[in-house]
Amino acid sequence: MLLYKLYAMRTVYTAQSVGLTPHLISVEVDLFNGFHTFSIVGLPDKAVEESKDRISSAIKSVGFKSPKNYGKQKVIVALAPADLKKEGPIFDLAIALSYLLAKEDMRFNPEKKLFLGELSLGGKLRPIKGALLLVKKAKEAGFEEVYLPRENAHEASFVKGIRVYGGDTLQAIISHINTKTLDANVRIKTGIDGKKIPVEKERDFSDIKIAETKSEIDFRDIRGQENAKRGLEIAASGGHNVAFFGPPGTGKTLLAKALAGILPPLSLKDALEVTGIYGTTGRVSDSLVTGAPFRAPHHTSSHTSIIGGGSFPKPGEITLSHKGVLFLDEFPEFDRRVIEALRQPLEEGTVSIARVKGTETFPAEFILIAAFNPCPCGYYGDKTKECSCTPSQLMKYHRKISGPIIDRIDLWIPVPRILHSKLAGEKTGEESATVRTRVYDARERQRARYENTDAALNSEIGVKEIETYMPLSASVQTLLTESAKKLDLSARSYHRTIKLARTIADLAHSDNIEESHILEALQYRPKQFVY
């Protein structure tokens, strides 16, 4: 049977994220006379394949003839680039508009316009994932307008320099962009009346109030544990990793939760980055994520859920804690693969997920809080209860944490039992707000020091930059060298001790690293792993 083309093709643009990397997608629809088929090419997944039914029903609900009602029409939808796997329902709106454009049921100029959205059977636009990242990509690529579900419009409006239109239905989008003159009967049937969607107002960052990080635990709520509180203040100031160890019920979890309350709010740059990350997980919000994230996955969580991965790589808990805190309670109980996989993010602030078709790199700059007991039963070395663990159990438990992981944790802090009399006493100590002020001041000193570098905190400084930004006097250098020999510090531990001392100096408003700062930093190095 002879097939011949009836209509001209026009390209409509959409986008999707693979991991945290946005990709622009072009949609072309070609129509032929012939045996009725409706096919989508370009490596579509099941959700994209099923869009044929959603789109057909949505177009019918508007009042146009459904693609599936043409008995002799061959419909080919091409999604490009063809070698990129297409995933999810985000292409529905673009495909529907491209079909109507090819069918000449409507007219509009698709250039410099981006269309994002899932369609319901009744033509309603449903919210999408990762709108902020996709709109940022569109702006960088020179697009001038973006059309997406109303629920995502506020989030997208944080991107300046591009007009954002949020629609409730396919009908509303068509009414806004259609330039074809429709006769009265068609207007009545379709309800397309040319009504325009108001452009979403760009967010003025000067009007955005950056909220403080909320925490259900205040420092004053924690009785005793002054050494641990001091360690948390240092960790928050310089972005250092912490390990709490001690018997059950001594407040390790409480301390970790309190850390969120002394962290300064995110900068606007970081807030946009974190909001973009959370958007890819399906979080739809009308505001930025301004508080430092706090993530606390359970020790039974899978390797993929924590590190990230999957056939279509998705960010895990370590990426969701970016610019915030990752709390791993019962640290040795986590899968050995999970613990060892922390090496790269703790050192580089990123995590790479390698797959057959390529490698995805996710941001992972976080403060690690690792909490654990001295043994599986929790009472090794405890004066009140006897340990029931065998030597082999102890050895297996401690071997879960390798030397490279130990080296990457800057502060090893014991959390001993607290006397009952102290627990019953009145609240003493500083409030989190007071500590947060000191943390903020210390971070401001670091920001000014590293304004010509990519670093913002002492923990982010590279080895080559230590001599430039963290010089030591002759006497301090001698003290550190001799101490490093006695403690048998590795090169990594040596450099991390300097960075930790620099943070302690910043909290003391000292321009130079003094001997007292080095000595305090050395106190936080692990003397032995079995306590």
Quote the pLDDT of residue 1: 38
Quote the pLDDT of residue 280: 87
Same domain membership, residue 182 and residue 261:
no
Quote the pLDDT of residue 426: 59
Same domain membership, residue 277 and residue 336:
yes
Tell me the CA distances in angstroms from 350 to 37, 270, 343, one per residue in order: 46, 15, 10
Residue 509 and residue 448 in contact, taking contact as beta carbons nearer than 8 Å: no
Q: Which of 439, 456, 473 is the last residue of a domain?
A: 456
Same domain membership, residue 255 and residue 195:
no
Same domain membership, residue 186 and residue 250:
no
The answer to whether position 504 is within a domain reads: no
The answer to whether position 289 is within a domain reads: yes
The domain that holds 96 is classified in CATH as: 3.30.230.10
**Cα–Cα dist 42/46, whole Å:** 12
**Cα–Cα dist 430/451, whole Å:** 31
Token duo for residue 292 = 């430092």
Same domain membership, residue 229 and residue 165:
no
pLDDT by 10s per residue, the chain, length 531: 334 444 456 799 999 998 889 999 999 999 888 777 889 999 999 999 999 999 999 999 999 988 877 667 889 999 999 999 999 999 999 999 999 999 999 999 999 999 999 999 999 999 999 999 999 999 999 999 999 999 999 889 989 899 999 999 999 999 999 998 888 788 878 888 889 999 988 876 555 555 555 667 888 888 778 899 999 999 999 999 999 998 888 889 999 999 988 999 888 889 889 999 998 887 766 678 888 999 999 999 999 999 998 877 889 999 999 999 999 999 999 999 999 999 999 999 999 988 766 688 999 999 999 999 888 888 887 777 888 888 888 888 888 888 899 999 999 999 888 765 566 665 667 888 899 999 999 999 999 999 999 899 999 999 999 999 999 999 999 999 999 999 999 999 999 999 999 999 999 999 999 999 999 999 999 865 544
Which domain range does residue 51 map to? 11-203
The answer to whether the Cα torsion of 508, 513, 515, 520 is positive or negative is: positive
Same domain membership, residue 305 and residue 187:
no
Same domain membership, residue 225 and residue 148:
no
Residue 301: how many other CB atoms lie within 10 Å: 16
Quote the pLDDT of residue 242: 97
Same domain membership, residue 266 and residue 144:
no
The answer to whether position 461 is within a domain reads: no
The answer to whether the Cα torsion of 427, 238, 292, 348 is positive or negative is: negative
Same domain membership, residue 433 and residue 355:
yes
**Cα–Cα dist 288/496, whole Å:** 33
Q: Which of 456, 477, 506 is the last residue of a domain?
A: 456
The answer to whether position 327 is within a domain reads: yes
Q: Which of 176, 203, 230 is the last residue of a domain?
A: 203
Q: Which residues pair with 215 in a beta bridge?
A: none
Could you read off the pLDDT of 280-297 as tens digits, one per residue?
887 766 678 888 999 999
Residue 67 and residue 55 in contact, taking contact as beta carbons nearer than 8 Å: yes
Say which amino acid occupies 128: I
Same domain membership, residue 223 and residue 197:
no
The answer to whether position 512 is within a domain reads: no
The domain that holds 227 is classified in CATH as: 3.40.50.300
Residue 323 and residue 239 in contact, taking contact as beta carbons nearer than 8 Å: no
Q: Where does 164-265 have alpha helices with state H?
A: 170-177, 184-190, 226-238, 252-259
Same domain membership, residue 320 and residue 431:
yes
Same domain membership, residue 234 and residue 150:
no
Tell me the CA distances in angstroms from 362 to 16, 159, 241, 274, one per residue in order: 16, 21, 19, 12
Residue 143 and residue 114 in contact, taking contact as beta carbons nearer than 8 Å: yes
Q: How many separate domains does the chain show?
A: 2
Residue 418 and residue 384 in contact, taking contact as beta carbons nearer than 8 Å: no
Using the structure block, give the residue that is written with the tokens 């997944």.
45
The answer to whether position 503 is within a domain reads: no
